[in-house]
Structure 1
Amino acid sequence: MIFFDLKSQEDTERYLYHYTSVENALIYILPQKRLRFSPLNKTNDPQEASAHYFSLRTPEDERIAGSEEELNKLTDLIFSDEFSDLLRKNIRVLCFSQDVLPQCYDFFDFGEYTGRGFAKPRMWAQYSERSVNGGVCLVLDKKKLIERFDERFNCFFHQKGEIHYGIQDCNRAKCYLEAYQFIASSQLFYNIFSELENRKQQYSEFYYFYKHNDWKDESEYRLLVESQQDEYIELDGILDTIILGAQTPDSVKNPIEKIIEIYAKKPSLSKLSCFNRHFSLIPV
């Protein structure tokens, strides 16, 4: 793996990073040479995993309702459970961290790797170091990954892109109202699920690529696909490097080295080290 000089902003789009436990890497990911997409409703973000609620109103509703309060009682939450299920049903995601150039570069913070997708203490703690044997970070070639994703899921509803955090986007409030309220004709009322399918694509960025600001340090890049079955992305040829966590025991090295012998393009293996708050990578 060739590391770029983050201060010069070289190659900040070259890699994506996927954190996982040693167990998942050794048992599933590396020997099977693939990453599995996770159901959206099983992510660790409660806002994404929870139900969405919709309001549906027609001109007839407005005619018979005596007040706005009665109209809301009449129309709110109609078909809401069905809408919510359809919005999340069969949606699967694969999540990565990105390299992000810090606004203020400070060598004495985390050293030369400040901003690198593999040098995120919170990510190591949250996604991999909680494992008994520590964790690993898989470094993937972003361009090749996206090309493979687009080719593999060309016939599916699929999306890709960076996650947006918080409510800074001035269009989000308008989008929120439009996305969750249907002003429907009586004809549309009987074909509302078709309309929701259209809106799922129209508002896909809002539904699937916005998260609470508290998640911003993940710097997430997401691949999303709609499918009724488990879906995977093949790793051979796009997996560049495997990074062992600082707390991952050295005994993990040998089984990983044996497994990656099956790869046509063998990934390199490194270990993260942290000394006096400075991250460094040590070839192993």
Structure 2
Amino acid sequence: MTFLPPQLSEEPPTGEVFHYTSADVAITNILTSRTLRLSPMHSTNDPWESEPIYTGFTLVDGEQFDGDTAQAATEELDRHIRLHSKVLCLTRDWGVNLPRFEGERRGWRHLSSWAHYGGGHAGICLGFNLEKLAAAFEKVGGPDALRVAGPITYWAGKYAPFLDQIDTRHLHKYGTDAVARHYAEVFQKRIFLTKHADWSSEYEYRFALMNQSTLPEYIDISDALTSVFLGHSFPEWKLPSLREALSNFGAIEVSRMRYHNRTVQADPPGQLAEPAATAFPPKETGALMERVAALAGEAEYHVV
């Protein structure tokens, strides 16, 4: 059974999704490269995904398929699926017709996500236009890639939703790589878009990709980035780097989280303040390196 609260299942989500991360990753990786990384599936936080997938097998009468053979086939199929799959985890957003910085169920407002993924409240939460991000996702991974996108379904119970067994004749006829790819296509929602109910508070929306590469893939966010939320403890000294990293994105709304007396809110969006003017404006004219060259002929330092 799914664990989406009733009021959210009846309310349409907005057209935005959010991604929590540390300040350094946001500034030096995501914003500087203008990409979001699809990370290996085995690095996710739910053991349903990060641990091996055991499919089980349907045997033909008289076929020799002992325990060791079954274990080897299971491990090989699992490698083809999980080691060749990458995911991007995002947070869904509710609050149609509300400003981005208001609302109890906004995607940037999850305190546990700020603590776990947002650098302990010192990181950044990035907002994206879902339609534009999905269009960029379609260009990733090559022509034969399996691409899956959608909200996560959260299931309760001791076991994950059942997956059918694999006919061993297909392994012999088509090979484990073809069987694994076809199996992932058939059961894509259960493999890529299902997690345990313990993670339901993350309200995850996901992009998943499976191809022949074991390396990460990257989605271009040049046209998709919409907003930036700074954690309550985001350090002021990182603002110049953030300002520079955002300079090529156009007008991006930047808000800061505020916590006071057990309430949470975000400051209304605004442009990042420019750094204070220097207290020592130079009397000499010229560009920086011209003034450095003039200074070098005048200053005397004692270097040991």
Normalised to the residue count of structure 1, the TM-score between the two structures is 0.78
Are the structure 2 counterparts of residues 237 and 146 from structure 1 closer, same or farther at C-alpha, using a change threshold of 3 Å? same
Say which of 230, 236, 249 aligns to 2:235.
Answer: 249
Q: In the TM superposition, what is the alpha-carbon distance from 1:196 to its structure 2 partner?
A: 2.7
Relative to structure 2, which stretch is displaced further, 149-158 or 114-123?
A: 149-158
Q: Of the candidates 87, 91, 103, which is equivalent to residue 93 of structure 1?
A: 87
- C-alpha distance in 2 between matches for 1:160 and 1:268: 26
Look up the match of 2:45. Answer: 44
Letter in 1 for 2:182: N
Alpha carbons 1:163, 1:210 under 8 Å: kept:
yes
- Residue in 2 aligned with 1:107? none
What per-residue deviation string (whole Å, max 9, x for no partner) do you get for residues 234-275 of structure 1?
122211111100121223222211221122x33121101122
Contact residue 13 and residue 93 of structure 2 kept, 8 A: yes
Q: Is the 8 A contact 2:136 2:221 kept in 1?
A: no
Does structure 1 conserve the Cα–Cα contact (< 8 Å) formed by 2:88 and 2:208?
yes
Structure 2: runs of 5 or more not aligned? 1-6, 96-100, 273-304
Rounded to whole Å, the distance in 2 between the matches of 1:157 and 1:57 is 25
Q: Which letter does structure 1 place at the counterpart of 2:112?
A: R
Task: Return the alpha-carbon distance in structure 2 between the equivalents of residues 145 and 261 of structure 1.
Answer: 20
More helix by share: 1
2:116 is aligned with 1:126: yes
Residues of 2 paired with 1:100 and 1:10: CA distance? 8
TM-superposed deviation, 1:191? 2.5
Q: Which amino acid aligns with 2:148?
A: Q
Deviation of 1:184 after TM superposition, in Å, equals: 3.8
SS of residue paired to 2:208: strand
1:281 CA displacement:
1.6
Q: Which amino acid aligns with 1:166?
A: W
CA RMSD of aligned residues (A): 2.8
Alpha-carbon deviation of 1:78?
Answer: 4.8
Name the residue aligned to 1:13: 14
Q: Evaluate the alpha carbon distance shift between residue 188 and residue 244 of structure 1 in structure 2; reply closer, same or farther with a 3 A threshold.
A: closer
**Alpha-carbon distance in structure 1 between the residues aligned to 2:140 and 2:49:** 25
Secondary structure in 1 aligned to 2:13? coil
Give the match for residue 105 of structure 1: none
- What per-residue deviation string (whole Å, max 9, x for no partner) do you get for residues 166-189 of structure 1? 148xxx75xx141xx22344x653
Contact kept in structure 2, 1:54 and 1:78, CA below 8 Å: no
**Alignment of structure 1 residues 1-284 onto 2, 5 Å:** 12-61=13-62, 73=67, 76-100=70-94, 113-130=103-120, 134-152=122-140, 155=143, 156-167=145-156, 173=161, 176-178=162-164, 181-185=165-169, 189-193=172-176, 194-227=178-211, 228=213, 229-263=215-249, 265-282=250-267, 283=269, 284=272
8 Å contact from structure 1 (residues 61, 74) kept in 2: no
CA–CA distance in structure 1, aligned partners of residues 247 and 163 of structure 2: 53
Alpha-carbon distance change, 214 to 259 in structure 1, aligned in 2, over 3 angstroms? same
Change (3 A) 1:78 1:55: farther
Q: Which has the larger radius of gyration?
A: 2
Normalised by the size of structure 2, how large is the TM-score?
0.73
Please give the alpha-carbon distance, in whole angstroms, between the structure 1 residues aligned to 2:196 and 2:17: 21
Q: 1:152 to 1:80 in 2, by over 3 A?
A: closer
Shift, 1:13, TM fit: 2.3
SS of 1:28's partner is helix
Change (3 A) 1:251 1:57: same
Cα distance, 1:47 vs. partner?
2.5
> Alpha carbons of 1:12 and 1:234: their partners in 2 closer, same or farther (altered >3 Å)?
same
Whether the 8 Å CA contact 2:14–2:94 is kept in 1: the answer is no
Count of residue correspondences:
251
Instruction: Name the CA shift for 1:89/1:73 in 2 (closer, same or farther; >3 Å).
Output: closer
Farther off after superposition, 210-219 or 28-37? 28-37
Give 1:94 deviation, angstroms. 0.8
Shift of 1:76: 4.5
Is this contact kept in 1: 2:140–2:217, CA < 8 A? no
Identity of counterpart residues, as a percentage? 25
Between the aligned partners of 2:16 and 2:237, the Cα distance in structure 1 is 27
Specify whether residues 205 and 27 from structure 1 end up closer, same or farther in structure 2 by C-alpha distance, changes over 3 A only: same
Structure 1: gaps spanning 5 or more residues: 1-5, 65-70, 102-110
User: Does the 8 A contact of 1:26 with 1:256 survive in 2?
Assistant: yes
- Closer, same or farther: CA 83–10 of 1 in aligned 2, 3 Å: closer
